[in-house]
Amino acid sequence: MTPPLPPELPAILVVDDEVRSQEALRRTLEEDFEVHTASNAKEALAVLEREWIRIVLCDQRMPGTSGVALLRQVRERWPEAIRIIISGYTDSEDIIEGINQAGIYQYLLKPWQPEQLLLTLKSAAEMARLHAENQRLAMELRTAAPVLERQVENRRGAARRRFALDAIVRAPGSPMHGICTLVKKLSALDIPVLLTGESGTGKELLARALHYDSRRADEAFVVENCGALPDQLLESELFGHKRGAFTGAFEDRIGLFKQADGGTMLLDEVGETSAAFQVKLLRVLQEGEVRPVGAARPIPVDARVIAATNRDLEAEVLAGRFREDLYYRLAAVTVSVPPLRERPMDIPLIAQALLDESQAALGRRFEPLSGEIIDCLVAWRWPGNVRELRNEVLRMIALADGDSLSASHLSPRVLRAGEAAEEPALNLLGELEGDLKTRLETLEARIVRESLIRHRWNKTRAAKELGLSRVGLRSKLTRYGLDKGD
């Protein structure tokens, strides 16, 4: 294995008409620098022409051209080189001339101390390195500015396409068509909007569509879950705080409202806020300004506010749990998002879209969802809406063998819903009534049926799970009217 190359040493040019002084400086510096020497200005300029010199260490009084005169030429032709005068004389005029005309970094006096000289030159070399790095970065930034601008624009365009109203998955005849039409109209109006609906119905997705279809699309879209934090932390998150305003406030913090200035602020689960916080939020909406915790004066903000909740805020107002004036500030227009069970025609499309999304994230490919899977998905009521549907898709992917998804990979509750939809006649087992024997038989029938559903009516697997022989299982199926036949 080839050993790594040693780090390159910074190059220094020593200009002195005395050879002994040159050699003394070489011996002192050669471990930390690549040392070049010259006896006069002509030799020094020749070295500078062919070498990349970081530091020029020049004697002041030399025959012909003085040190300051030489360094003045160096400053004009190689301004990035650090220029240092070393002299046995303390003539103030030389020092002033060197500073004004040659832009020297240091004026060192002879006799010099090796430690002090090395310390000064190492500092000079580090400054030269930082200066070169700064120039390189400045050049890269100038060159990269158009590239960065294109990247930002491309990402902005990708966000608009991803969260556009047309990207919301829905089938012909879906109630979401009317919702999207209303959102399209509202996006052109800079007014507050209240999104209501059960958790997981896609309220945040609609809020993003509102933002990216509005004139504020190029600005920030900021989300805060108002039900996740206590009042003090929520106030700090939304309005910001000054250092020392409370225990743990070690620095100033810009609030989310200010971060959303010019853009859109989504207040998710706004129905969970306390009465005390509702007063502070109302002032922000009325005055268009926020007061950071601990600040002496408010800060103006211009953010469109979209609120979302799974509560019935009108009922909350009547019950005295939500301020009526805040409600009307938030709900210039209310958009009610229907749950998934009220738009079953969307379920197959959403499930396939979730599968495609998961495939891309996991780098795996699966066959499209089968009709059997779709029937089970459509039959279930989805109390958790799209979030629950996403979990079912992920469950099938996790349990899949190869690239094929099976209905047997669905949760038992979803599977039972599918079976009940397919064969309603099998749901005639009745309630647990009658004597003990009758009730035990009813329970046994339900257990057998659930096992069969879970194993997709594979009698061998169901019998193994129940500890029965195939003959014994077939007898119970016949007895309870559960035999579907082979």
User: Does the pLDDT value for residue 308 go beyond 90?
Assistant: yes
User: Does the pLDDT value for residue 457 go beyond 90?
Assistant: no
pLDDT at residue number 186: 94
Percent with pLDDT over 70 in the chain: 90
Q: What 8-state DSSP symbol labels residue 102?
A: I
Q: Specify the pairing of strand 11-15 against strand 34-38.
A: parallel
pLDDT at residue number 90: 64
pLDDT at residue number 213: 93
For 94, phi then psi, to 5°, come to -60, -40
Interatomic CA distance for residues 69 and 241, integer angstroms = 58
Under 8 Å between Cβ of 267 and 223: no
Which is more confidently placed, 100 or 64? Answer: 64
The pTM assigned to this predicted structure is: 0.62
Tell me the average pLDDT across 290-307: 90
Q: Which two tokens stand for residue 116?
A: 């002090």
User: Does the pLDDT value for residue 1 go beyond 80?
Assistant: no
Q: Which band of pLDDT confidence, cut at 50, 70 and 90, is reported for residue 100?
A: low
User: Does the pLDDT value for residue 232 go beyond 50?
Assistant: yes
Amino acid identity of residue 335, one-letter, is: V
The per-residue pLDDT of the chain, averaged, comes to 85
User: Does the pLDDT value for residue 215 go beyond 90?
Assistant: yes
Under 8 Å between Cβ of 304 and 214: yes
pLDDT at residue number 423: 47
Report pLDDT digits (tens) over 21-80: 889 999 888 888 999 999 998 899 999 998 989 899 998 888 888 888 888 888 888 888
- 3-state SS record for 114-130: HHHHHHHHHHHHHHHHH
pLDDT at residue number 428: 40
Q: Which band of pLDDT confidence, cut at 50, 70 and 90, is reported for residue 456?
A: low
Positive or negative, the CA dihedral 54, 57, 60, 66 is negative
Percent with pLDDT over 90 in the chain: 37
Which is more confidently placed, 355 or 97? Answer: 355
pLDDT at residue number 467: 86
Positive or negative, the CA dihedral 334, 336, 337, 343 is negative
> Which H helix or E strand runs over 276?
helix 275-287
CA distances (Å), origin 203, targets 236, 266, 307, 386, 433: 25, 10, 9, 11, 45
pLDDT at residue number 204: 93
Report for 110-114, 195-199, 239-243: range of highest mean pLDDT: 195-199
User: Does the pLDDT value for residue 355 go beyond 60?
Assistant: yes
Amino acid identity of residue 80, one-letter, is: E
Calculate ∠ Cα 262-263-269, nearest 5°.
Answer: 135
Task: Name the residue among 166, 209, 205, 204 with its Cα closest to residue 188.
Answer: 209
pLDDT at residue number 485: 45
Tell me the average pLDDT across 311-339: 93
Q: Which band of pLDDT confidence, cut at 50, 70 and 90, is reported for residue 7?
A: low
Q: Which two tokens stand for residue 103?
A: 């832009």
